[in-house]
Amino acid sequence: MTEIHCLAENIYRIRHWQRPVRESLLSKYRIIDLEPDGTAPQLISQSSGNVAEIARDGAYRLTFTLSAGEFGGFDIRLPLDPSDRLFGLGDESRTCVEKRGQLAVMKQENAVSYGPVPYLMSSRGWAVLLNCTYAHVFDVASTDPDLLRIRADKGALDLIVFCGADLRDALYLAGKVTGRPILLPKSAYGLTFVHNEQATDRTILDDALRFKDRKIPCDIFGLEPSWMAKFYDYSTDKKWNPKRFVIPDWLPVNYYGGWSWIWNLQTMGYMLSLWLCCNYDLFWKEENESYVDEEHKSEDAVIQDKHLSFNVRMDEITKPEEPWFEHLKKFVDNGAEAFKLDGSRQVIPHPDRLWAGKYTDDEIRNLYPVVYAKQMKEGFAEYTGRRAMIYTCGTYPGTQKYAATWAGDTGSSIKVLISLMNFAMCGHSNASFDMGASKDSMHFGFLAPWSQHLGWSNWTYPWFCGDEIEESYRWYAQLRSKLFPYLYSYARVAYETSVSLLRPLSLTYLDTDRYDGVFNEYMLGESLLVNVFDYNVTLPEEDEWFDFFTGKKHTGPRAYSYKPEGVYGGAAFVRAGSIVVLQDWAQNLRRYRPDALYVHVYPGKDASFTLYEDDYRTYAYEKGEYAKTRMTLEGGVLRIFPREGGYPDMPRAVDFRVVWHHDDGSEKTVFVPAADYADTPVSVEDK
């Protein structure tokens, strides 16, 4: 039997079976949303055949040939057009961004495939999402150059088809089903510094002062597993390491106040992040039930030994009646506001485990990381009403609406950048990696969607790496802080559209394949072009470019070798016809409220930019509590429009210093008080 349902305009669901097979846990747990929106009839086709056709009028027609096993498993075949350039699949490999010719095994695997995402989209605008958690294979014209084939040995054939107009439209449609990238708390868009595992409460407070004294902005301090009394404690009975992190024993375990080093840390403006490992059975909560065996005993049976009067579970960690987040509440009370969900056992197989008393590991393995992120995000929000910084290395559809990710224990390289690009092609924006203390790694790390420096077992603290590295580190950390208005505004764009903050060039220049193989460059928002590691620069021919560091307009060849000098670890350019809003750097972002912002205007094509604000702490933005200030550049005239919207405790509108950039690198600044654009648009020219 084959059924085609219309979930919303240009979004369709295809199901095919010999006999009904149980629904995927992705949709059962509402990680993806397959409820029709009511704009179209739900069931649009039903037949006993094995062919499903879906079309976008005047653009393309997709013909799927379907087969399903009697007890699960399936095979999907879709003929490809020669013009189909194919993108997506998440972090299943790190060799390419355009996927035609790729044979992708979609299975969570430590350091090999941290984030398989069964979403694939075409440059023509169509996309498919497989609603399946079992391991499966995307044969993207690898075996047959004109055929997409998706197959699995287990699970139901359940395929979501998006009929968009182009790549960005496909991402927008997919976001309606998988969810949009969340906005992280404000501090998360600064620097997260993860300390060496030998750190103690006092050394961390001393490091906080060092960052301040050396004028290196930093926002989140992370602890490694040594914060726990038991190293790698998987249980729900974990405690602070009494030798490293002391809360006086006469105080309650959830104490927060002047006797706590965490209180001191937060008073200085930092957030605290705790490393976690998890082997807990999270699926009892998802199933919303407890597992209880029926009692089977003869009428004359009498239990003499009470040790034999209850069920015994082989899983001695999980408490089925207790959600995982429950035991973390005392650490939240202590002041923890961020959690690093280490790969640990969430990305490795459990071949003999039965999850929630019913599901085998082959069904759960891909799903576990996203359920983990879901319960952490929702648990913290329900308990505090605030956003936490949750970051994980494991990814599957839906992760983007719960957590940020980093590229696992794989350092920083071109391959890591490819993984971030592939996440962008699945609508996942808040992705990063472990930054090191080299100039090229810092250049990439501080110009990523979020920034993390991993200490772990090394001592690559900036002040231990020599004056040259420290100077470069300080410069990039200050730049990161200055970029916050620009970065946060495009993080909002990602939330609205699923177009990531970090974008492969193919997601900016949609109508050409010239940039499909450019792996050393990406767009950061609409305006900034970043070059990393390989300094053979390719400047897209469609635009003119200013050097972001010197301010001079580039007049040389479009392809050339760049040599970073001074503090720089790579190249960065601004597209001519851009508005880039910056602020003065701040030691910490969380409490910083600038009185003025710098509106940098790079003349060229007409452009627009919308400055976005909210409370930076809660999810009230999802309910419409935010403000926007629109700016346009048309015919060499900048217009700033009155701020629209609002949120509780919103500060007054800021003054603007409009900085006009000239081709020779010179600048002219025009002051625009907030009062001038409070009620009517104000126009500013370079005169």
What's the rounded Cα separation, in Å, for the pair 618 and 621?
7
CATH number at residue 55: 2.60.40.1760
The pLDDT of residue 196 is above 90 = yes
Q: pLDDT by residue (tens digit) across 455-489?
A: 888 999 999 999 999 999 999 999 999 999 999 99
Assess whether 171 and 191 both reside in one domain: no
Q: pLDDT by residue (tens digit) across 143-186?
A: 999 999 999 999 999 999 999 999 999 999 999 999 999 999 99
Q: What SS3 state is found at 312?
A: coil
Assess whether 213 and 319 both reside in one domain: yes
Backbone φ and ψ for 56, nearest 5 degrees, come out as -110, 120
The pLDDT of residue 305 is above 70 = no
Query: What b/e readout covers 469-480, taking b as 16+ CB neighbours within 10 angstroms?
Result: bbebbbbbbbbb
Contact 139, 149 (CB under 8 A): yes
Assess whether 198 and 109 both reside in one domain: no
Assess whether 154 and 173 both reside in one domain: yes
How much is the pLDDT for 331? 98
Assess whether 158 and 201 both reside in one domain: no
Q: How confident is the model at residue 290 (pLDDT cuts 50, 70, 90)?
A: very low
How much is the pLDDT for 292? 40
Please report, rounded to a whole number, the percentage of residues in the chain having pLDDT higher than 70: 97
Rounded to the nearest 10 degrees, what angle do helices 467-482 and 439-446 cross at?
A: 10
Q: pLDDT by residue (tens digit) across 233-250?
A: 999 999 999 999 998 889
Q: What SS3 state is found at 7?
A: strand
Assess whether 199 and 120 both reside in one domain: no
Which of 494, 572, 482 is CA-nearest to residue 527? 572
Residue 615 is assigned to a structural domain of this protein: no
Q: How confident is the model at residue 298 (pLDDT cuts 50, 70, 90)?
A: very low
Last-in-domain residue among 130, 149, 178: 178
How much is the pLDDT for 313? 77
Q: List the strands of the sheet with 191-196, edge to edge.
A: 431-432, 404-406, 389-392, 336-341, 271-276, 220-223, 191-196, 451-456, 434-435
Residue 644 is assigned to a structural domain of this protein: no
Average pLDDT of the segment spanning 1-21: 95
Assess whether 160 and 245 both reside in one domain: no
Assess whether 284 and 394 both reside in one domain: yes
CATH number at residue 427: 3.20.20.80
How much is the pLDDT for 110? 85
Average pLDDT of the segment spanning 258-272: 97
Residue 166 is assigned to a structural domain of this protein: yes
Q: How confident is the model at residue 117 (pLDDT cuts 50, 70, 90)?
A: very high
Q: pLDDT by residue (tens digit) across 612-641?
A: 999 999 999 999 999 999 999 999 999 999
Domain that holds residue 8: 2-178
How much is the pLDDT for 295? 42
How much is the pLDDT for 306? 58
Last-in-domain residue among 446, 475, 497: 497
Last-in-domain residue among 151, 178, 205: 178
* Domain total of the chain: 2
What's the rounded Cα separation, in Å, for the pair 185 and 614?
10
Assess whether 165 and 287 both reside in one domain: no
How much is the pLDDT for 539? 97
